[in-house]
Amino acid sequence: MVPSLLLEIALIGILGIASQWIAWRYRMPAIVVMSITGLLIGPVFGIINPEKDFGDLFGPIISAAVAIILFEGSLNLSFKELRGIGKPVFRISTLGAFIAWILGSLTAHYIAGLSWAVAFVIGGLFIVTGPTVIMPLLRQAKLKPRPAKILKWEGIIVDPIGALLAVFAFEIIVVITAENPNGTQLLLFFAASLFAVIFGWALGKGLGWMFETGHIPEFLKSPAIVVVVIFCFTAADMVMHETGLLSVTAMGITLANMGISSISDMRHFKENISVLLISTIFIMLTASLEVETLLQIFSPNIIGYVLLMMFIVRPLSIFLSMIGTGLSLNEKILLGWIAPRGIVALTVSSYFASVLLGAGYEDAEILTTLTFALVFSTVVAHGFSLGWLAKKLNLSQEGNPGALIIGSNKFTVRLADSLKKANIPVIVVDDIWENLSLARQAGVPFYHGDMLSEQTEHMLDTIPYDYLLAATDDNALNSLTCTTFLPEYGRTNVFKISPYTHFKDGYSSGVVPKVGGRILFDRKFSLENLIDKIEEGYVFRKTTLTEQYGLKQYLDDKDERTVFLYLIKPNGVLKFFSEEMRTVPATGDVIVSLTPPLKEKEKIQAKIENNRMNVGKNEKK
């Protein structure tokens, strides 16, 4: 056991972020790494037990964290995303959820051996997936837009529905088992649910209005949202347990669809908080499990229940609810398999376990074990199989890392063409149609629109592109674009063309140097310089480094006017050269550079001379 609660909090935070880093570094599902970490420091080695150590604070901390995570997820639910997927999302959130509830309850009764009352409560709860598990998986698996959006919407919309179904089932049990049953309690349940939706909508509208009218300054907007979210969840939850999840979801969706410009800025802040909370909460929950709970997982009825939920209940609910939605067979197969359960299932099941045990249902004792068995099994199975299955079903955009180039001009089009020839996904984006004529003529993929507009966000599929290159003739726009997309692409994957101008005493820029992304290639090469080189006949040359022809010999042979552009690793990884990043080519790498046409002329001249010599020899014969 750790000597102090403060040290335990620090340890949980460090291990949570370390788990996220390991998952990112080795391309593993983050949820799996966090779960294993929690099990190791909790029931396996007994270093911490957050539930005991935090005492009465454990429940409120978990609940507040879940509320913030669910709100952050719902803040991404713009109704414009539903274009083309509205019917599948509606079906999966209503008919699909209902079918999963009924089938899951039957499975819990006949296979897990639970009483009808407990089975219907847990059956309602287990329809949830949730943003805590879906979002990290979608970030790692490059799914095509339609299945990715359906899974995201389902995870966020069905989360509160599952909790409400569990409450609804419990309220029915209370009514049925009462000595003098009446429907008042059920009416209160529906009234509380309606209140939660209206309350969340009203808070969202009110907060949005205050943001738009300037009643809340910029530096207070993010803190205000966090506080209001917790208040929204708590107030609704006090009226009836678990309606708080519904309330914060309604609040998030309301704000997401008000068109508030500052919401996108706060969304990045909320995403950072969400990652931190998911990292810590998952470790806290798994570390709080008892050894006896883990051993119970291996009982035949629990294993059978988990297998049926994964291989029968979920696929059947998807295939039945998706009839007539226009989804392909491959999409239905993917959706029918991917349904990892997460934090909401763990937290709410522990609440109902205690409530049902207090009501005299002794079989509710295994709810925690059953829940963790399903959560861990689905997280591991779906986390490791999503990418593989998506590739097999041709629903993945995984492949060589691509580049999204903003600005269509003579240089960027030639650059895009060289990437295309190297089988690297590339697209040129420009809001001026005339500029795109160069891309059209070269046969390079292009998109007509403003990269910073909301319409582009919904219309342009950016999943295949790992790098963003801002190369317009407007240095301020390049910096703004890079700053906007830094949180999405990562600091090392966002580049802008050099804004510097060469003077006698060095280089200067009209834009603050630290604003935006990294300088692409070298500060010596502005867009104007690069376009001039293209017009002078500079060529794109590929050079493969070998054991016989290494980096040193290549550097000795190169022309001093050569511009290093990018290199391609043997495994297909793309790296752009930048003076702000240390890129060291190695054996097997292909270096692509922009070189003077001198060597090309020499090759042509040598070929001409060779032809002359051959003609002369033939004449002598």
pLDDT for residue 397 is more than 70 = no
Mean pLDDT of 305-318: 92
Residue 407 DSSP class: -
pLDDT for residue 310 is more than 80 = yes
For residues 115-140, one letter each, b for 16 or more C-beta atoms within 10 angstroms of the residue's C-beta and e for the rest, the string is bebbbbbbbbbbbbbbbbbbbbbbeb
Mean pLDDT of 431-452: 84
pLDDT digits (tens, 9 = 90+) for 467-487: 888 888 888 888 888 877 776
Residue 102 corresponds to which tokens in the numbers above?
Answer: 């009924």
**pLDDT score at 320:** 92
Mean pLDDT of 339-345: 76
Threshold 0.75, pTM exceeds: no
HSE-up (13 A, CA, CB side) for residue 571: 3
**pLDDT score at 39:** 87
Please provide the average confidence, as pLDDT, over all residues in the chain.
79
Task: Sort residue 357 into left (φ over 0), alpha (ψ -120 to 50) or beta.
Answer: alpha
pLDDT digits (tens, 9 = 90+) for 152-164: 878 777 766 777 7
Mean pLDDT of 99-127: 88
- 585 vs 619, higher pLDDT: 585
- 305 vs 538, higher pLDDT: 305
Count of CB atoms within 10 A of residue 506's CB? Answer: 9
Mean pLDDT of 493-521: 66
pLDDT digits (tens, 9 = 90+) for 32-83: 788 889 888 988 888 888 888 888 888 888 888 878 877 876 776 666 666 6
3-state SS, 145-178, equals: HHHHHHHHHHHHHHHHHHHHHHHHHHHHHHHHHC
**pLDDT score at 612:** 62
Residue 354 corresponds to which tokens in the numbers above?
Answer: 């205690």
Q: What angle do CA 417, 419, 420 make, to 5 degrees?
A: 65
Which residues are within 8 A (CB) of 549 and not within 5 positions of it... i.e. 6 or more apart? none
Which residues are within 8 A (CB) of 60 and not within 5 positions of it... i.e. 6 or more apart? none
Q: What angle do CA 39, 45, 49 make, to 5 degrees?
A: 65
pLDDT for residue 228 is more than 80 = yes
**pLDDT score at 296:** 80
Q: Mean pLDDT highest for which of 141-145, 502-506, 611-615?
A: 141-145
Beta-sheet pairing, 494-496 with 518-519: parallel
The angle that helices 218-239 and 261-287 make with each other, rounded to 10 degrees, is 50
Q: Which amino acid is at 262?
A: S
Q: Where are the alpha helices (DSSP H) in 126-260?
A: 131-140, 145-177, 184-212, 218-239, 243-256
Domains parsed from the chain with CATH numbers? 56-392 (1.20.1530.20), 402-605 (3.40.50.720)
* Phi, psi angles (nearest 5°) of residue 568: -120, 120
